Amino acid sequence: MTPPSPDSAVCAATLFDGETWQYDCAVLLAASTVVGVMPAAELPRQVPRETIADGLLVPGLIDLQVNGGGGLLFNNAPTADTVRQIAASHRHLGTTALLPTLLSDSPEVMRAGVAAVREARRDGAADILGIHLEGPFFAAARRGTHREDRLRAPEAADIDWLCSLGDLPCVLTLAPEQMQPGQIRQLTAAGIKVCAGHSNASYARMQLAQQEGLRGFTHLFNAMSALTAREPGVTGAALDSQHCWLGIIADGHHVHPASIRIAQRSVAQGKLLLVSDAMATVGSDDPGFQLYGEHIERCNGQLRNSAGVLAGSTISLLEAVRFCRQEVGLPLAECLRMASRYPADFLEQPRLGRIAPGCRADFLLLDDKLMPRATWVAGERSAPTPAA
């Protein structure tokens, strides 16, 4: 099949396509799709182009865990307008696709959140890839800032409802020890991507969950049973897994840089990915916000509740990329893959996370300090972004 003719091009001095670095090349676009990458000098004269003389053109970032942004928290207002505003605030900071994330809450809030994401996607929000339900099937001992009275074990009706979500892509974080035998298998058979988190499970219980189709681990090292000499726990099961994806929050507060390096060396190539766990303060000057009616305060780059417990992060995904490059010491190409290609692979979205023929035209333009200058979502260029 002959690829469509390009109707425009973006010419970049430096391009990272998700695999390798390329130089002085042109990305050919037909509407929302990349149809080719070629040397800029060979681009036909009649093709309209935008020329980027400096900076780095890279795949758009994909964030699997976004609780809020722009002063809004999804739980507090689970509407399509909230979803769109949160996505817009993150797009200005370099994230071109995300999963709005609901924390453990009442069935009414959870259902409203699903309906909100459905509506936003139906109205053409290309940057909304689905929904992440973080809870409510958690272990109280590992609940973090999730309110205990919102946690519960699943009933048959809950499983049936989740399995009825149909074509809405859904990530569900749960504690495997809260599930009955066969329930994880039932969820994964329905297309739900099940991850372990806020769990006090043993290593043996985690092995059973993986046999039932567990696909990943949410915010590695945080809110999960630790690796010890005689009981590897959830953390040990994650590091020992060769097929699961592991999300990690690289903000300098949730996980030590050395722990990130250890995880990166331990897991299979392509399985460690970055998430922001962003709260309402991202993209906002607000000093805090309300969660479950409790004030969460921002101080020294951290978010904590009145008990001093970390309550998500105040970073964008691009800030996590910078942290991994500058503080953890990982190669820039790998840092970018951890925030673009690997999340796309987890979601089974081969048209995302890369700049290659057939991929959606989601790009991010960075300056030499890895600050955002512009984004493209499905071929549509944003205005220059404010400083992240």
Residue 252, marked binder: no
Residue 76, marked binder: no
Residue 146, marked binder: no
Provide the sign of the torsion angle of the four alpha carbons 110, 156, 246, 191, taken in this order.
Answer: negative
Cα(352)–Cα(114) distance, integer angstroms:
23
Residue 90, marked binder: no
Q: Which of 127, 277, 345, 362 is catalytic?
A: 277
User: Do 360 and 372 form a contact (C-beta atoms < 8 A)?
Assistant: no
Residue 132, marked binder: no
Classified as helix, coil or strand, 144 is coil
Cα(32)–Cα(376) distance, integer angstroms:
9
Residue 231, marked binder: no
Cα(365)–Cα(361) distance, integer angstroms:
13
For Cα atoms 231, 188, 60, give the angle at the middle one, nearest 5 degrees.
90
User: Do 202 and 233 form a contact (C-beta atoms < 8 A)?
Assistant: yes
Task: Count other Cβ atoms within 10 Å, centred on residue 18.
Answer: 20
Classified as helix, coil or strand, 384 is coil
Annotation marks residue 81 as catalytic: no
User: Do 336 and 324 form a contact (C-beta atoms < 8 A)?
Assistant: no
Cα(93)–Cα(247) distance, integer angstroms:
20
Residue 94, marked binder: no
> What is the token pair recorded at 140?
């109280």
Q: Specify binding-site residues for Zn(2+).
A: 134, 198, 219
Q: Specify binding-site residues.
A: 134, 145, 198, 219, 222-223, 230, 254, 310-312
Q: Specify binding-site residues for substrate.
A: 145, 222-223, 230, 254, 310-312
Which residues are the active-site residues? 277
